[in-house]
Structure 1
Amino acid sequence: MSMISKSDQVNSQMTLDQLIALDAIVAMGTFRAAAERLNKAQSAISHQIRKLEAELGFDLFSRDGYRPSLTTEGEVFYRETARVLEQVNGLKSVAASLRSEQEAMISVVMTATMSLDPILTVLGDIGRRFPATHIRVATEMMGGPLARLMEGDADLIISGLAGVPLEEVETLPVDTIIIRPVASPSFPAAQRVGIRSRREMQTYTQVIVSGTGGQDFDQSRDLLSGGQRWTVSDFEAKKSVIKAGLGWGGIPVHLMQQELANGELVQLTVEGYPPRHTEIFAIRRRDMPMGQVMSRLWDDLKQARQSMPEPDSNRWKS
């Protein structure tokens, strides 16, 4: 039964705000959460949707359950809404670029698990093209890059997608990294070949790296529960502790190629801890306008990715 009342059957014109409200409800799951996200009263969001439904002539949401769910017609309409909002965001970026001046500084924050090499050429070209712009490049651990982006302290991050609110960002694939569990050849778990069980590995010290994202952006991966842990600040410290035979842990392969080659570190095969392949992306917020330099950097990253072959995970294998 339609929820549209006769009082709602008035002449109206579809607005961008109505489409944004629809998108927020679908993304957040409730009218209340959508209102909080858009910093509006819930009654205002409900009114916008009622007016939109009145103009369309059908219900967008079924309100029978605890959470609103899209009707069949609503699902079709929402798919088109998402395309329209994508185009609107693109127009906003173009307009911002056209009216912008060269930024005094752009901030790029990278995950410490990745090498700078895949983007150095692009950054170098940007630096030569825009010598008046200071390019700040920083590295952060775990959820640190995402925290800097969402807090407005980074224009661009190079990171994995764990925890990233995809509806709020644009992404470009950059590279793939592999993290493997390793230990010193003198470490007890490395003394024989074969798969080490989780129970056995819980008797050894696992070395982990602390995140820099704070509580709201904390990320914990590849942790074995129940065992002793050492926490260090970065991968170089982690590698030193593991090389000293004081524990085991996962390290990006590109950061330990020399140690693997000369035998200072050996790979472990651990139950429930396979080598982890992580896709790395360039990520920017949709609601942050791009100036001339950021627009050029984003376009250059896109062109560089299109001209590269698909990431070959075998290049990191030892």
Structure 2
Amino acid sequence: MDLRALTTFEAILRLGSFQKAAEELQFAPSTVTLQIQRLEADLGVSLFVRDGKRMVASEAGRWLYQEASGLLKKIGSMRQTISDFGTGNGGAIRFAAIEPIASQTIATIVADFCKLRPQVQLSMEISGSKSIAERVRSGELDFGLCASPSVNLMLEFEPLIEEKLGVLMRTDHPMAKKTCFEVNDLAGLTILLKEQTCIYREISEKILSQSGQNPFFGMEVGSFSVIRQMVKAGLGIGIIPMYKSLELENTLVIRPFVDIDPTVAIGLVYKDSNTLGRASLLLMNALRDLRTTEQLQQCSTSHPENAKCASPAAQSADHA
């Protein structure tokens, strides 16, 4: 069944005449007549009967009109949806990000993206780097924002930002008077650590191992938000990424390490950009702006006194 002929037939019934249909479709009247003749020949039935000087729909024609109207609306909707896929104004995005960058930095970017493209169906999950990378590899996620994945997964990784870890504590903590920390200062303190599978836990353990001793008591907590609340309640200290927004005026502060530089690269992880939808590519481009904008405000750049935090070796070099 020729779609153009069906469109012409629907227009004739809707507008009430061959002539009006020809005008709307910008066809010659002879073209409209020819299309209806071909449609009737294809179906083997007359769609119009003569009523005096007028042509009116036959019983078969009236039934076809009802069906054709719904079908053509559906086809129009399909065309618009496919077009939206191509422009990035439609489709679906499935991605995941780690904390705290998800809440502290990219939430606003994602919200602005969704406001600009309300027809896009977006699913944003919060998970760990290892899980995100594995799910990107399996195709469950279009892309992820996390630490560098294992080379065995054969995924693309684009570093966007570098997070520095510091020590979160109450402002009335005895160590809060120090502008910066040394690893040995952690000895004997109650330290709140992320779960074993977290990249930040791995880095924290490296920090602690460098002290050459293990006289501390560590507690495993699976959420930076919970760590923050527990520190606020007076339970120990936390080793966390240095975001200014995680501090709390007159209550919580983050101090950098002076004798080590604990950092982790966070970036986009994906399998093959050629297989991603236009909407996913546009959101990834928006996230890439993290490399060149001031949207990421880390605590280390927010404390002027941090410039004074230098290791004894570095200070000696300055004096030399």
Larger Rg: 2
Determine if the alignment matches structure 1 residue 201 to structure 2 residue 190.
no
The answer to whether the Cα contact below 8 Å between 2:231 and 2:238 also exists between their aligned partners in 1 is yes
- For structure 2, the residue ranges without an aligned partner over 5 or more in a row are 1-81, 304-320
From 164, 176, 179, give the equivalent of 1:178: 164
Determine if the alignment matches structure 1 residue 249 to structure 2 residue 235.
no
Write out per-residue CA displacement over residues 8-43 of structure 1, whole angstroms, 9 at most, x where no aligned residue: xxxxxxxxxxxxxxxxxxxxxxxxxxxxxxxxxxxx
Once the two structures are TM-superposed, the CA of residue 205 in structure 1 deviates from its matched residue by 1.4
Secondary structure of the residue aligned to 1:183 is strand
Change (3 A) 1:309 1:238: closer
One-letter code aligned to 2:96:
V
Change (3 A) 1:180 1:172: same
The answer to whether the Cα contact below 8 Å between 2:193 and 2:218 also exists between their aligned partners in 1 is yes
One-letter code aligned to 2:230:
V
Once the two structures are TM-superposed, the CA of residue 204 in structure 1 deviates from its matched residue by 1.6
Identity of aligned residues (%): 15
Change (3 A) 1:315 1:263: same
Once the two structures are TM-superposed, the CA of residue 209 in structure 1 deviates from its matched residue by 1.5
Between 249-258 and 131-140, report the one with greater CA deviation. 249-258
One-letter code aligned to 2:278:
Q
For residues 133-172 of structure 1, the aligned pairs below 5 Å read: 133-161=120-148, 163-165=149-151, 168-172=154-158
- For structure 1, the residue ranges without an aligned partner over 5 or more in a row are 1-96
Once the two structures are TM-superposed, the CA of residue 122 in structure 1 deviates from its matched residue by 5.4
Q: TM-score w.r.t. structure 1 length?
A: 0.52
Give the alignment's Cα RMSD to 1 decimal: 4.1
Please give the alpha-carbon distance, in whole angstroms, between the structure 1 residues aligned to 2:183 and 2:285. Answer: 47
Change (3 A) 1:131 1:231: same
Once the two structures are TM-superposed, the CA of residue 156 in structure 1 deviates from its matched residue by 1.1
Structure with the bigger percentage of helix: 2
Determine if the alignment matches structure 1 residue 210 to structure 2 residue 195.
yes
Please give the alpha-carbon distance, in whole angstroms, between the structure 1 residues aligned to 2:114 and 2:188. Answer: 50
Tell me what 1:286 maps to: 272
The answer to whether the Cα contact below 8 Å between 2:137 and 2:155 also exists between their aligned partners in 1 is no
One-letter code aligned to 1:183:
M
The answer to whether the Cα contact below 8 Å between 1:108 and 1:138 also exists between their aligned partners in 2 is yes
Determine if the alignment matches structure 1 residue 222 to structure 2 residue 204.
yes
Change (3 A) 1:251 1:263: farther
Please give the alpha-carbon distance, in whole angstroms, between the structure 1 residues aligned to 2:283 and 2:186. Answer: 44
Change (3 A) 1:288 1:203: farther
**Aligned positions, number:** 212
The answer to whether the Cα contact below 8 Å between 2:158 and 2:268 also exists between their aligned partners in 1 is yes
